[in-house]
Amino acid sequence: MAKVVVIAERCKGCQICVSVCPRECLKISEEHNQAGYFVVELVSEQKCTGCGVCGEMCPDLALQIWR
């Protein structure tokens, strides 16, 4: 099973990854990081295929995809 790991301190909450996820597995969290940004979280680990689109599009390299 694929796994997406969010590196919270790198995430700026731009939502690019949320908009490009073909399976709608990501959303903006209620939690913020130390810089005050609301970070992304994985909401459906079962639906995630590990395609890597979210990680490729992230301008801050805040996502790691494990297959």
Buried b (16+ CB within 10 A) or exposed e, 8-24: bebbbbbeebbeebeee
Higher-pLDDT residue of 1 and 45 is: 45
> pLDDT digits over 8-66, tens only?
999 999 999 999 999 999 999 999 999 999 999 999 999 999 999 999 999 999 999 99
CA gyration radius, the chain: 11
> What are the boundaries of each domain within the chain?
3-66
pLDDT number for residue 52: 97
- What's the CATH number for 3-66? 3.30.70.20
pLDDT level of residue 2 (50, 70, 90 thresholds): confident
pLDDT number for residue 55: 98
